Amino acid sequence: MPSPARVILDKRLDERVDSMLKNDLINELENFHKQYNLERLKYNKEVDYSKGVFQSIGLKEFHSYLMLEDEKKWNIIGKKKLQLAVKSLKTATKRYSRLQFRTIMNRYIRIPDIKKVPPIFKLDCSNMEKWKENVEFTALSIVKDYIDGNDLYTLTYLPMDREEPHPNRFQDGEYYCDICQRIFVGQYQWSIHYASKGHRRQLYKLKLKDLHKKMVMIGKPQKKDINNVDEDEDENLLKLLL
């Protein structure tokens, strides 16, 4: 059973999608799809929804509908595909909001005292009629006190309380990734980061830059821009400059 706050948020997210549709979202997607495919066919490329702009919410969900011929978009099949795309967009939007919430909780609330993080304030925005009173004025007051150097833990609006983390989440102190220049608390967080695509991407770029420096020293030309390397090409990654 979702909490009252979640019900309110989900309703607003659905209304946001409806507002985007009213503001010509479909036409914008169709124009982008047309231009993208002209470019794609020109260079004989396959569609890859795991990279680039296609990772954003709103494109993958409408792919089946956008692939229809113009006259078929207005028949029963086209209308059903459009309805399904809108439903998928709303689902993806709500799923992403839950991911944002979990990220904030895990990185800033459910942490031990050894990790220094800024105070997190929870503002009540459930009633839009009281936006200025509950959100705007409160937020401005907190920001002003922060700028003035006041102790944020002694304000009228106290930060959120820290929660006890899972006992297995934080062990063995802190870990520092010299590749990504980030600090992680415990083996759990470190193992997740170490296996992440972002970490591998930074590692590959460093390896390529190091190889490029060596090749420049011996006068060997570079064949590919090291800043635009696809991290999924890990088997042949270091051969691109050879």
In a domain, 171, yes or no: no
Evaluate whether residue 147 is within a structural domain. Answer: yes
- Statement: the pTM of the whole predicted model exceeds 0.85: no
Mean pLDDT, to the nearest integer, of 27-31?
92
For residues 35 and 73, membership in a common domain is answered with yes
Judge whether residue 177 has pLDDT over 60. yes
Same domain? For 9 and 101 the reply is: yes
Establish if 52 belongs to a structural domain: yes
User: Do 139 and 65 share a domain, yes or no?
Assistant: no
The confidence score (pLDDT) of residue 242 equals 39
Alpha carbons 76 and 82: distance in angstroms, whole number = 10
| Least confident stretch, 5-9, 33-37, 146-150, 231-235 | 231-235
Q: Are residue 29 and residue 91 in the same domain, yes or no? A: yes
Lowest mean pLDDT among 55-64, 81-90, 116-125: 116-125
Q: Is residue 59 part of a domain?
A: yes
185 in a domain, yes or no? no
Of 53-57, 94-98, 115-119, 178-182, minimum mean pLDDT range: 115-119
Between residues 222 and 80, the one the model is more confident about: 80
pLDDT of residue 233 exceeding 50: no
114 pLDDT higher than 70: no
pLDDT tens for each residue of 131-170: 998 899 989 988 898 888 887 766 566 667 666 555 555 4
Average pLDDT over residues 31-49: 79
Structure confidence at residue 186 as a pLDDT band (50, 70, 90): confident
Residue 91, domain member (yes or no): yes
Q: Is residue 21 part of a domain?
A: yes
Q: Residue 137's domain spans which residues?
A: 121-159
Which region holds residue 87: left if phi is over 0, alpha if psi is between -120 and 50, else beta? alpha
* Residues 85 and 151 grouped into a single domain: no
Looking at per-residue pLDDT, the higher value among 110 and 8 belongs to: 8
Across 39-43, 129-133, 142-146, 218-222, least confident range? 218-222
At 231, which amino acid appears? Answer: E
Looking at per-residue confidence, does 60 or 15 come out higher? 15
How many domains is the chain built from? Answer: 3
User: Domain for residue 170, yes or no?
Assistant: no
Mean pLDDT, rounded, of the chain: 78
Residues 96 and 126 in one domain: no
Cβ–Cβ under 8 Å, residues 203 and 194 = no
Return the pLDDT at 237: 43
DSSP, residue by residue, 13-33: HHHHHHHHHHTTHHHHHHHHH
String of DSSP letters for 128-187: GGGHIIIIIHHHHHHHHHHHTT--GGGSSSPPPPP-PPPTTTS-SSEEEETTTTEEEEHH
Tens digits of residue pLDDT in 191-217: 888 888 888 888 888 877 776 666 555
